[in-house]
């Protein structure tokens, strides 16, 4: 389960290291592996290691059933995470073990905490700390897809519409003003809404705008406040801002008098399928040309935001630069902590950590000869001992400087 990936991460890392042909790195409970054979293109295989909580499906079991499609007997595995997405991870590990000479360089990303809040998602940590590991020409996420390529994904936003009223006991309802009733026009607008279907790269995305939750106060209270949560699943040709604007447009009537509050409580962009990219086109051809749109939101959106399938060589340069910045920032952070414990008063009278002296700005108008001033004005240190400093006219050195 999420936050409990220690053992499986250890097993996955050991299995990949034992193959002897991957560079393997572990960060937290994220396991990263890649080949460096100098191939012209790179394929990324990514899967999360966590599952949703156990629900009477442990231990796993296998049984033989008749296929609904063909009637043939097939093996079926039941258990926590067997579909989402231990089966995908197992396929990726099998490929890593059996493909001795792949046509592409491979990157494998096995990451933690996908099933919970996005701030815990291991891909976010990898992007922040090791962005160069996420450079690829095409990324394949092992989410369940019924054996088909599911390209891209739809975006999602949640909006909360809130109404106010006057609270009363439901036995004396005439004394109150029912906030739930004021949400009626919102529900009417949603009921009459006609969702859009859009074709992108041969994938048909079907949008949906739905009320998913409504809440007042209690079962015997005329509520003084009530809200309805509205979820919009939108095709990836819309941005999040476009999606919010569309929901506002649909609900323009109920919102017109300003009596209802409109708040975006969650938002995640979609991902274009990118099937026109050469690497993706080869994947589709290898799969017999069978593909369809992904309706749910997945971490494919994160890969799309990284520019995978679009301007990949430029993105690699950007990722390398981002990695250098991340390493420098971590070094500065560590150095700053050490320096903070050793303050030094410079000649211009300000207290600063030793490390920051090379980049600080001298506070005095006249030259003071402090290290910061010399750096800024490109003056060499004064001659003689490295510990000796001559103070220019108009500046008094502070003892302890």
What is the number of other CB atoms lying within 10 angstroms of the CB of residue 194? 6
Give the active site residues.
50, 114
Cβ pair 13, 25 in contact under 8 A: no
Tokens of 132: 């160069």
Who contacts 137 (Cβ-Cβ below 8 Å, separation ≥6)?
A: 41, 42, 43, 104, 277, 278, 279, 308, 309, 312
Q: How far apart are the first and last CA of the chain?
A: 56
CA distance 397 to 392: 9
CA distance 242 to 128: 27
Tokens of 205: 């995305």
CA distance 48 to 88: 9
């Amino acid at each position: 389960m999420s936050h409990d990936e220690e053992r499986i991460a250890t097993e996955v890392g050991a299995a990949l290291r034992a193959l002897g042909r991957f560079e393997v790195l572990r960060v937290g409970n994220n396991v990263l592996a890649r080949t460096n054979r100098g191939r012209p293109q790179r394929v990324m295989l990514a899967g999360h290691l966590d599952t949703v909580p156990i629900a009477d499906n442990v231990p796993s079991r296998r049984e033989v059933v008749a296929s609904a499609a063909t009637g043939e007997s097939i093996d079926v595995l039941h258990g926590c995470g067997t579909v989402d997405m231990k089966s995908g991870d197992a396929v990726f590990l099998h490929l890593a073990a059996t493909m001795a000479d792949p046509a592409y360089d491979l990157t494998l990303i096995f990451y933690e905490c996908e099933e919970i809040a996005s701030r815990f998602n291991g891909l976010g940590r990898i992007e922040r700390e090791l962005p160069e590991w996420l450079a690829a020409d095409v990324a394949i996420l092992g989410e369940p897809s019924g054996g088909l390529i599911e390209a891209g994904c739809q975006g999602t936003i949640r909006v909360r519409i809130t109404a106010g009223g006057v609270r009363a006991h439901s036995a004396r309802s005439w004394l109150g003003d029912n906030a739930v009733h004021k949400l009626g026009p919102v529900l009417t607008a949603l009921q009459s809404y006609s969702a859009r279907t859009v074709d992108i790269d041969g994938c048909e995305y079907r949008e949906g705008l739905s009320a998913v939750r409504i809440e007042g106060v209690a079962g015997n209270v005329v509520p003084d406040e009530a809200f309805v949560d509205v979820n919009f699943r939108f095709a990836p040709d819309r941005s999040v801002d476009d999606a919010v604007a569309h929901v506002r447009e649909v609900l323009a009537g109920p919102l017109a008098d300003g009596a209802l509050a409109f708040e975006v409580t969650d938002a995640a962009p979609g991902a274009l399928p990118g099937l026109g990219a050469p690497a993706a086109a080869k994947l589709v051809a290898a799969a017999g040309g069978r593909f369809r749109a992904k309706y749910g939101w997945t971490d494919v959106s994160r890969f799309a935001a990284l520019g995978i399938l679009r301007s990949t060589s430029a993105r690699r340069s950007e990722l390398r630069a981002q990695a250098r910045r991340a390493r420098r920032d971590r070094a500065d952070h560590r150095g700053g902590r050490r320096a903070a414990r050793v303050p030094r008063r410079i000649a211009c009278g300000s207290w600063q950590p030793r490390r920051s002296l090379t980049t600080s700005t001298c506070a005095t108008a006249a030259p003071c000869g402090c290290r910061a001033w010399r750096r800024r004005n490109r003056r060499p240190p004064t001659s003689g001992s490295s510990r000796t400093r001559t103070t220019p006219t108009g500046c008094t050195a502070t003892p302890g400087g």
